[in-house]
Structure 1
């Protein structure tokens, strides 16, 4: 009998077992699985995960967490062999960035091999295990059958649940925004401040589009600034549900229409706002999709389609960090070239420096680029057509 539901298979006490496999990262079920417990140490886990073998945990829950922390520390140790030098002509920071991304992906792959067995409705049959059903239902949706997922993903769901309850204070709103699992939280407030403080086009727009709305924070800021009607789009069901929740909390739901759309909605608007991912590359998690985008696809699609969705005299607001430029991943001339190719001109630019901790952390391998980073709001308008 064939099924589309991925299944994990393993042997325990000489008997074959199977359970539904769940991976938010879209990873396939591990082919090799061993049962682990409180006697399994981090060095053993390091060796097994290096071979691609997963550890299905049957011991104490808190011991599993300690094992994961110890395994992460070992994976963070500098390699015995120095990393390869950059090829001639390669930017040293770009080389460091790619090495860091490769190391992060390998670390995530191996940490995701520490697995937990769940009974129906996310009951966790381990000693000292917490009640996690609410967090898992919010993150993954209901599950009425036994399943297996990684401890790392469970901890992510628990953390997301706590952040969802607590929320993030947004001074521009005088309120808190509550991010759902897998939706990027506005912890980096620079881009919010730019949208809150940049003068609106004149006359004040009655309508605006917010592309890739996420938590809905930018739509909320524009509504509070007096834009009467907004259309906010996203392709993520989680993001749309999150934005709806936040807008209802803020009393703005009637003024914002949420649409499942790949970037632009139908029609035109005098103001279109987009805060695309700012680094080229493949995302390794749901949250990373707000930061990494292969070949700047969303940025380029926004620029290419902007002119056809603006009303006469309208503006497109592109909010973008220049970190990719400082890392040697996208020269400023390339961005300006894409703007010109789209038939757009730059009417103005507003800049802000980052306030996040990494920008002041000299131990970060990318510190030299981060300390130079600027986030900008580019005011874009269609080029005037010759008579």
Structure 2
């Protein structure tokens, strides 16, 4: 069992360590309370020393906000170009940004909250978080320690799950679970909702179903049977709940599988992670695809899972191209090498806030981003 240890009142203590990001338990831990000021906390966090909070819970939240301001101020200074220095390439900017984000997350994760069994927090003015933590972690039969920042993410995910994300193409809500990518970028969903279906298609495969949103859209469009696959048990649970809530369980089957289910279909849809790179946490597997593995494996196996005359729909942003991470020629080469050809491509500009935020470190690339639905078929 992964444990965190510390000394308190001259006595050695230990508890279970929880981290959805997969980070190891901090090796240096000090007990902190309302008497610790933000500058001291910041210096300790930068040094890799975790702060186990014993004070007022709301004061811990205020301290975390103060740490955020200090970390972001330091990051902003680091992004300023040095006089006479050559302008960074988009790829260099991306890798710097990733490193800064990782360092930021690690520093802010140093403020820790102790939990009792059953996900209760024995701190003054602590909220009731049992339901949110049960959704994210499952039952807790013993005490544990987790970062306050992660806890706030758990609480936020609980609210997303409760309220849901409205999907215009469904005229309904999708309710994402903690750790499952939320379909807040509606442009890619609209592409699937509007692209012309292959004539007579009554079966579709949804590869990497996630929250189940694309399976639901395909079912609502009249596909009589949709088979969605995913490797993540949490995603499958989320998708099943959403499909049942939408009344589509008789049309949609969800399976644990690495990419394709058995057989062939006239329509195979895949929305893989859009950026090649190494995820730094579980949720980032929806964004980063190490060495473009899922993308390449989807393309490589597509022809063998298409019925004659069938289409594969690849939903992909070209942000990786603007960042210099994957050239367009490489993607086209993978398509050709897989024995596929492009039938058509449907494009849309993203509408999310970062696309028009000039202060975003990657604004130059994001401002040119296009999301595309590539309609592919076996080459003739």
**TM-score normalised by L of structure 1:** 0.95
**1:307 — aligned with what?**
303
What secondary structure does 1:363 align onto?
coil
**1:218 — aligned with what?**
214
CA contact (8 A) 1:91 1:328 kept: no
CA contact (8 A) 1:348 1:380 kept: yes
Matched, 1:229 2:229: no
CA contact (8 A) 2:57 2:126 kept: yes
Matched, 1:111 2:108: yes
CA RMSD of aligned residues (A): 1.6
Gaps of 5+ in 2: none
Matched, 1:150 2:147: yes
1:58-89 Cα offsets, whole Å, 9 max, x none, are 0000111111111011111145667798xx99
What secondary structure does 2:243 align onto?
helix
1:281-308 Cα offsets, whole Å, 9 max, x none, are 1222332211111111111110011111
**1:255 — aligned with what?**
251
CA contact (8 A) 1:359 1:367 kept: yes
Which residues of 2 match residues 78-117 of structure 1 at below 5 A?
78=74, 92-117=89-114
| Alpha-carbon separation, structure 1, partners of 2:87 and 2:320 | 14
1:338-386 Cα offsets, whole Å, 9 max, x none, are 10111110011000110101111111121111111100000001111xx
| Alpha-carbon separation, structure 2, partners of 1:81 and 1:190 | 33
| Alpha-carbon separation, structure 2, partners of 1:379 and 1:268 | 17
CA contact (8 A) 1:94 1:329 kept: yes
| Segment drifting more, 208-217 vs 277-286 | 277-286
**2:277 — aligned with what?**
281
Pick aligned residue for 1:197 from 194, 198, 205: 194
**1:74 — aligned with what?**
70
Which residues of 2 match residues 1-387 of structure 1 at below 5 A?
5-78=1-74, 92-202=89-199, 204-384=200-380
Moved over 4 A (4+): 79-85, 88-91
CA offset at residue 90 of structure 1? 9.7
CA offset at residue 9 of structure 1? 0.7
| Alpha-carbon separation, structure 1, partners of 2:265 and 2:159 | 37
CA contact (8 A) 1:25 1:284 kept: yes
| Alpha-carbon separation, structure 2, partners of 1:257 and 1:90 | 51
| Alpha-carbon separation, structure 1, partners of 2:211 and 2:67 | 33
Alignment: residue pair count: 377
**TM-score normalised by L of structure 2:** 0.96
